[in-house]
Structure 1
Amino acid sequence: MLLEKKKQKFDEITKDFLIDTDGLRKIMVLLEQAFDKGLAMETASSASVLMLPTYVQSIPDGTEQGEFLALDLGGTNFRIFFVKIINREMKVKSTTCCVPNDVMKATGEELFDYIAKCIAEFMKEHGLTKSKSLPLGFTFSFACKQDGLASARLIAWTKGFKASGVENEDVAELLRSACQRRGDINVDVVAVLNDTTATLMASAFERNSCQIAVIVGTGTNACYMEKLEKCGKLRKGIDFEEGTFDEMCINTEWGSFGDHGELDWLRTDFDQQVDEATINPGHQLFLKMTSGMYLGETVRAVLERLTREGVLFGGQTEGISKHGLFLTKYISEIESEFIENDGTFPKTLQILKVMGVEEVSQLDCIRVATICTLISTRAAHLIAAATATIIKRMGKPFVSIGVDGSVYRFHPTFSRLLDEKISELIDKNLKYELLLSIDGSGRGAALVAAVAMRMNKKFHC
């Protein structure tokens, strides 16, 4: 009888993580409405989903040729690439540089001088002379207001960066000025983009049918090629040249979906608990339900509640009550072990022991794995609904989707769950495929530069 009561309590506490198909279709309707608000001139400034123009108006078409540099700055390590494109073949040389902590917190001029120094050393190492100007694509994975393809103003630093004099400034211009101050390198910054757009471009180079990119890692985001006629906030002759292309890549920033209450009907007490403990409560609510930064903490919150209710670990909460102790990678490790289960759970026991949980039964291990599965499955289904919304919105008979991110790559069932649920949610006349994108941030930046040069020659020669 006690066992049955514990099962009932377990089911009662975890049931709200299950979303049926009708719930997912409701999300699709709400998200499309949020997309429309983000794209309309009248409502863009107050929309929860920003729908940011990237000024990328074309994917690679196979005619791109030449040599390009790419810079990928999104954290304490940044990468420099030299990319040579000949007849749809791409040859890449790259290096990784570390931004010292004092440089991250110095002046903007010092930060970009350091980046320019690393570029100069890379070019010298690979025999790239000053005599030839190289187009450079700059993947800058911080929140920016894009003023054009080659202009982006930093809204706010994150990820430990605090370099002064950069916020509200054009990061492309800061990079250009730093390179010019050196005098020994010759680069032309022709494009600034984020990692999601770069993923789309890298995937489109491999498969021309790719017009959507999705990231599910520490964070989550998506971009896609949208018809200009649906982008009411874009102005002819200012944001795009009339008569050139009829599409533009839109960076959705869908992580903020729900910030205006769209997901209140779906969020659990545990989502509320996780949100309240963050530095930005009430913001990025869709991201907090789907991304690697928060999935582990959501699992921990559920484990703590079940333990307090006497369902797990003999009611001993000491090892499970510390915020941030349950890492998202544990979800993948525990679920992988559960899938391959032979009746023992050595990895799960090891993880719980590291956390300080000592009294663990076999049934506890099964229930921990079940909680991990519930929360990761919900994340996959939410991402599937959001992706299906874009596929439906585009209405193309076939589209490829470039996908990247640690959750998508390393979780044992995420990719399958995503694929199966998208297929269930879209009309049967719409076909798609998911493509794993490898190293999209660097290659994609070079490809945006290549496309920019191709378009410039086409329309301004």
Structure 2
Amino acid sequence: MGIVVNNLPRIREECEVLHITDKQIREIMNRLHNDLLKGLGKDTHEKSIVKCWITYIQDLPNGKERGKFLALDLGGTNFRVLIINLGENHFDMQSKIYAIPNHIMTGTGVALFDHIAECLANFMKEHDVYEERLALGFTFSFPLKQLGLTKGILQRWTKGFSCSGVVGEDVVQGLKDAIARRGDLSLTVMGILNDATGTLMSCAHKNPYCRIGVIIGTGSNACYVEKTKNCELFDGEPGKDELLINTEWGAFGDDGTLDFVRTEFDREIDANSINPGKQIQEKMISGMYMGELVRLALVKFTRMGLLFGGHGSDLLFQRGSFYTKYVSEIESDKQGDYTSCMEILEELGLSHATEADMAGVRHVCESVSRRAAHLVSAGIATLLNKMAEPRVTVGIDGSVYRFHPHFHALMCDKIAQLVSPGIQFDLMLSEDGSGRGAALVAAVACRQSQQAA
């Protein structure tokens, strides 16, 4: 038997670069706060990195919404179609997930919207509402400049999409054109929103204190309720005190403001992404990148001889082979138990891993996910302190928050340290996500137009 060297202390030392100190977190919060102010300001918005787009949503659900509503939810490689029936004391929702093939994600915008319209028609037939005239809410989870409740200009694609002919165009019009080309559906698009806004709407329907919506999934974003007087770009109806703002905080750091906490792993992820230099904060937080951050660290430590006796595997050295779900699975093992870790390493061709290696792998996972949780917490605390309301519920959706075993607890602890005295907050998992929120936007818009009539 060779001597088993415990490299865990060295690995812990190497992982210190992934630890953000409290002093650094306070600096990040200051920088984000300044960027939010720039995004909201008339003279600074154009150059601002954190865009703080106006959503034109000024009313949250109040429980008086009634009727049948459709929703489309497009935000990644799948999209959902939903039908929601709102009654006095009941809420009925049915949905179906449709895949978006890779050739459509990277093809033309016309092909994308035609595909969506076809799935929508099939769904309506299955649910016997094909002949009905229904209001539709559209969740579109990519950076949008909104010019009204039903007009949104795509700023850029993210998350692996690159459909031609859509950037700079109104995506609601793209959807309407596809519906018109079919000629067999009578739908009214009542609102477009992104997944963070949908999450806020969905949670506000159940909890009147919900004033912030956050996504921690494939991507990361947040929206919150701002005082209309602080939104210098707002040109809608006066008379309402509040307005939902879509921060697009995934882009925070695109101008170098986060460089002081970025690591070689972050820089490599960015360099190999389809959008180098963009969505810098998102690349440190979200599910699209977390597994790859872990893999890059494991590769480095293997080459240093700190893991796997210096012997990796073809799969370990292959980009994208370490999925983010592995991080959640490895951290779900009880302390001292490495069952999931062992299975994952075997899948990656690393069956020669020792228990010391597994402890090292787990530490890398914990370092990456703790940093992500602390960065999101810094963002939420910045919004809570800016809003300065005594009690706020934060609605959260996304696979990382939903499935990671410690994310919620890490966030609760960190936000509690960072919020101003006297602010009470709680974190609420959005049960049915942004699709339900889209239907509620349609429902609120219908309620308002009926009141106005």
**TM-score where L is the length of structure 2:** 0.92
Instruction: Report the AA paired with residue 359 of structure 1.
Output: H
Q: CA offsets, 1:117-154, max 9 Å, x none?
A: 43333333333364x53211111223332211101123
Q: Give the C-alpha shift of residue 160 in structure 1.
A: 5.6
Tell me: CA distance 1:299–1:87, structure 2 relative to 1, closer, same or farther (3 Å). same
- Quick one: which of 277, 281, 287 aligns to 1:286? 281
Tell me: CA distance 1:168–1:348, structure 2 relative to 1, closer, same or farther (3 Å). same
CA contact (8 A) 2:82 2:95 kept: yes
Tell me: CA distance 1:215–1:100, structure 2 relative to 1, closer, same or farther (3 Å). closer
SS at match of 1:357: coil
What is aligned with 2:367? 374
CA contact (8 A) 2:158 2:275 kept: no
Q: Give the C-alpha shift of residue 32 in structure 1.
A: 0.4
Q: What 5-or-longer segments of structure 2 have no aligned partner? A: none
Q: Give the C-alpha shift of residue 89 in structure 1.
A: 2.9
What is aligned with 2:306? 311
CA contact (8 A) 2:284 2:290 kept: yes
Q: Give the C-alpha shift of residue 88 in structure 1.
A: 5.4
Quote the Cα distance in structure 2 between the aligned partners of 1:297 and 1:100. 23
Q: CA offsets, 1:200-237, max 9 Å, x none?
A: 11111011111101111111111111111111222xxx
Instruction: Report the AA paired with residue 143 of structure 1.
Output: P
Tell me: CA distance 1:318–1:117, structure 2 relative to 1, closer, same or farther (3 Å). closer
Aligned length: 450
Instruction: Report the AA paired with residue 185 of structure 1.
Output: L
Q: Give the C-alpha shift of residue 276 in structure 1.
A: 2.1
SS at match of 1:142: coil
CA RMSD of aligned residues (A): 2.4
What is aligned with 1:355? 348
Output aligned runs, 1:374-393, within 5 Å: 374-393=367-386
- Quick one: which of 421, 438, 447 aligns to 1:445? 438
Output aligned runs, 1:131-210, within 5 Å: 133-158=133-158, 163-210=163-210
Q: CA offsets, 1:66-104, max 9 Å, x none?
A: 221111223443322221212253211323334455655
What is aligned with 2:401? 408
Deviates most, 169-178 or 211-220: 169-178
Quote the Cα distance in structure 2 between the aligned partners of 1:275 and 1:40. 29
Tell me: CA distance 1:178–1:434, structure 2 relative to 1, closer, same or farther (3 Å). same
Tell me: CA distance 1:336–1:40, structure 2 relative to 1, closer, same or farther (3 Å). same
SS at match of 1:265: helix
In the alignment, structure 1 residue 417 sits paired with structure 2 residue 410? yes
Q: CA offsets, 1:248-286, max 9 Å, x none?
A: 111111111111121121112222222222222222111
CA contact (8 A) 1:84 1:92 kept: yes
Q: Give the C-alpha shift of residue 291 in structure 1.
A: 0.9
What is aligned with 2:27? 26
Quote the Cα distance in structure 1 between the aligned partners of 2:243 and 2:74. 23
What is aligned with 1:126? 127
Seq. identity, %: 46
CA contact (8 A) 1:64 1:88 kept: no
**TM-score where L is the length of structure 1:** 0.90
What is aligned with 2:80? 79
Q: What 5-or-longer segments of structure 1 have no aligned partner? A: none
Tell me: CA distance 1:374–1:92, structure 2 relative to 1, closer, same or farther (3 Å). same
Instruction: Report the AA paired with residue 152 of structure 2.
Output: A
Deviates most, 248-257 or 78-87: 78-87
